[in-house]
Amino acid sequence: VDIVVASIVGLAGLKPTINSISKCSKLCLANKECLVSSGKFFLDTVNKHNCKLLPLDSEHNAIFQLYDYEDPSIIESITLTASGGPFRNYNLNDLKKANLKQALNHPNWKMGKKITIDSATLMNKAFEIIEAYYLFNLNIDKINVVIHPESIIHSMVNFIDGSTAAILSDHDMRIPISYALNWPTRTNHHNVKKIDLIKLKGLSFEKPNEFLKVSLNMAKYVLCKGGSYPLIMNASNEIAVKYFLNNKIKFLDIIKIVEYILKNSKKKKINTLDDVYGADIDARDQTEKYILKNNGTFK
């Protein structure tokens, strides 16, 4: 086929996406777990079959549009933008009391429950750091995150001469999806809202919430550790979010659980699909046991 759009949620999307790579010329990737759980193995498969990989996430799609693949040495760093989610201004006491209804009330985007919770914990942005690391072959210290509540700038590329390029558009996923589907051309969409800078009046930027920034730090930690660590982070987060969605744990427990599992896991090599699924099962099992053992009390 000409184009495959991979948008199955979670690790369930990995196998069908891997199987499609040898049968398509262009892969539009919305599934984060493909790169988070099996980064180098996944990219090696893409390169082996000469498949063009285009990211559908608005942030990575923006960077793809700006990135200079012919001379990446001119790129100093990239900046991923984040809305900050519903809790961007919450203090620690407020976060301790945050409930499911509040966590699902995203200010800008209408998404599925899992990704909405990940946005609230900043875990979604942590996974995007991992994705960017693999997609653009960047050092970890060249990937920055800034909170941009308006979600108009979708990401930026910072060049070595001191200039920065950005992609601006309304927060409408039809725009990056259309770009990927029609690449390398652009098409006119009359039903998509165009941004009006006069009406916007201003664009604001902030540091990530200091009490949620641990999620972003975990992304850099697992990339430094390598091997199965990004996968373990993803698997333990999926289990923790499941328990939170069922009102079995508190909001901040999600981050505490993932952090604990990462600190108490051993690195495994990821060279095959079996390696991925084996490490994933182990991480999920370890997380389930930890949650049940502590019965809602996590340090």
pLDDT, position 11: 87
Task: Give 10-residue mean pLDDT values along the chain (299 residues).
Answer: 92 93 95 92 95 95 93 95 92 95 83 88 96 94 95 96 96 92 89 88 94 96 96 96 95 96 95 95 96 79
3-class SS of residue 223: helix
**pLDDT digits 0-9 by tens, 198-238:** 888 889 999 999 999 999 999 999 999 999 999 999 999 99
- Ranges of H-type helices in 104-246: 113-121, 123-135, 174-182, 197-200, 214-225, 229-245
pLDDT, position 296: 65
Return d(Cα 16, Cα 200) in angstroms, integer: 41
SS3 string of the chain? CCEEEECCCCHHHHHHHHHHHCCCCEEEECCCHHHHHHHHHHHHHHHHCCCEEEECCHHHHHHHHHCCCCCHHHEEEEEEEECCCCCCCCCHHHHHCCCHHHHCCCCCCCCCHHHHHHHHHCHHHHHHHHHHHHHCCCCHHHEEEEECCCCCEEEEEEECCCCEEEEECCCCCHHHHHHHHHCCCCCCCCCCCCCCHHHHCCCCCECCCCCCCHHHHHHHHHHHHCCCHHHHHHHHHHHHHHHHHCCCCCHHHHHHHHHHHHHCCCCCCCCCHHHHHHHHHHHHHHHHHHHHHHCCCCC
- The owner of tokens 């060279």 is 271
